[in-house]
Amino acid sequence: METKSDIGNPIDELIAKYLTGEANDQERQELEAWAGQSGDNMAVLNESRRTFERAGLWLGQKRYNTSEAWSGLERRLEESAKVVSLKPESRPGIFAGRLLKVAASLLIALSLGLAGYYLGFRNHQPSVYTEVRSGQRQVLDQVILPDGTVVTLNSQSKLTYPREFSGNSREVSVSGEAFFDVVPDASRPFVIDAGDARIRVLGTSFNVLAYPGDTLVEVVVESGKVQVTSSGSDYQVANNLLLDPGEKGTYVSRDGSLFKRVNTDPNVSAWRTHRFEFNETPLVEVIQLLEKVYFVEVRLSDPSIGNLMLTASFDQQPVEFILDVIRLTFQLDLTQSKSQYLLTQRANN
């Protein structure tokens, strides 16, 4: 599934344009997708409409039938599923803060005109963050950040980033697993907060594994250089690693230690590439990886099956194909029930 964070204008800008009839078709679709994501989002849009109607302001000579537009929006939301997975960061007070910003944006936009508003707003806009979450069995591909950096999120992961990067660095946070392809910018390092680990790069590609509750944060570099630093309460200035391509850095949350080694796992990015390399790999490990990548369940009728060693390569093959190769290789029986598979020894084995 491909999801792009291509909403170029802040949500309050889109609301203002929508209610004044200045939004184009793409902007209307983006706003409707955002409104359909949560009750809070819909409440913000609802209250913005009421503010607009109470103010009774009109932009230029153009009058826009907001009641008709609102009815159309409600019909489209009922008829369509969610389109994107973008959410504003959820924290106490965010609803009230967003509502005040939208109301103010509407009044400014309607009284001064959109052209002047865009210039003033973009130059004085406070930091606003976008949160992207992947579902339990969902990989989000091609999440594009404001600087052009491309991020892929694995299942049950979260990425938080500003709508616009400002200052001397580009800072984001990640929880879960993600692959970053960072656009080079020597003047503004790209910094990722991953729990108590802090990752700093200039332009590179790498995989980050940092699920909440895990005792380890792992970074595997594909290209470029990456610096990993402990940023916890016991942070020591000297406690950092510099990783080259093919190296793996690990942060241990228990004691704040960092260490690196050559990455020996050829399947570290299999969750996004669906490319696998197995070389005398125990079948139990093969199955664990397939379950993670394809969101399926594979059971073994006998634990001894898990000790079988598999040597094989697969390139973007469906899980049914891979399991069938395993079945033929080890002369097993394979049965399927929905997303659950069972491998059993044949009676004559």
pLDDT of residue 23: 72
Q: Do 226 and 244 fall within a single domain?
A: yes
What's the token pair of residue 13?
Answer: 């800008």
What sign for the dihedral angle of Cα 262, 268, 269, 275?
A: positive
The count of structural domains within the chain is: 3
Domain edge (last residue) among 111, 126, 141: 126
Q: Do 229 and 280 fall within a single domain?
A: no
Of the candidates 342, 344, 340, the residue with the CA atom closest to the CA atom of residue 297: 340
pLDDT of residue 33: 74
Vertex 8, ends 174 and 74: CA angle to 5°? 95
pTM for the complete prediction? 0.61
Range(s) of the domain holding residue 204: 133-262
Question: Number of H helices and number of E strands within the chain?
Answer: 9, 19
For 124, 173, 298, the CA distances from 194, given in Å and listed in that order, are: 29, 6, 31
Q: Do 82 and 157 fall within a single domain?
A: no
Q: How far apart are CA 86 and CA 266, in angstroms?
A: 32
Look up the CATH number of the domain holding residue 153. Answer: 2.60.120.1440
Q: Do 245 and 317 fall within a single domain?
A: no
Q: How far apart are CA 82 and CA 74, in angstroms?
A: 13
pLDDT of residue 71: 57
Does any domain span residue 61? yes
Q: Do 18 and 75 fall within a single domain?
A: yes
Instruction: Give the alpha-carbon dihedral of 25, 1, 152, 166, to 10 degrees.
Output: 10
pLDDT of residue 216: 92
pLDDT of residue 203: 85
Q: Do 79 and 22 fall within a single domain?
A: yes
Look up the CATH number of the domain holding residue 330. Answer: 3.55.50.30
Q: Which residues make beta-bridge pairs with 205?
A: 181, 223
Q: Do 121 and 137 fall within a single domain?
A: no
Of the candidates 137, 142, 162, the residue with the CA atom closest to the CA atom of residue 152: 142
Domain edge (last residue) among 83, 98, 126: 126
Dihedrals phi, psi of 139, to nearest 5 degrees: -110, 125
pLDDT of residue 234: 44
Quote the DSSP letter at residue 254.
Answer: T
Q: Do 139 and 245 fall within a single domain?
A: yes
Domain edge (last residue) among 100, 126, 152: 126
Q: Do 302 and 339 fall within a single domain?
A: yes
Each of the 349 residues of the chain gets a pLDDT tens digit; together they read: 333 333 334 677 778 777 766 777 777 777 777 776 666 677 677 667 666 655 544 333 344 454 555 555 555 555 543 333 344 333 444 444 445 555 544 444 444 344 334 434 444 444 578 899 998 888 998 899 999 999 999 999 999 999 889 888 999 999 999 999 999 998 999 999 998 899 999 889 999 999 998 889 999 999 999 999 886 544 444 478 899 999 999 999 888 889 999 999 999 999 999 999 999 999 999 999 999 999 999 999 999 999 999 999 999 999 999 999 999 999 999 999 877 999 998 876 5
pLDDT of residue 39: 64
Does any domain span residue 188? yes
Q: Do 281 and 162 fall within a single domain?
A: no
Does any domain span residue 220? yes
Quote the DSSP letter at residue 304.
Answer: G
For 82, 246, 271, the CA distances from 314, given in Å and listed in that order, are: 33, 21, 13
Q: Do 258 and 150 fall within a single domain?
A: yes
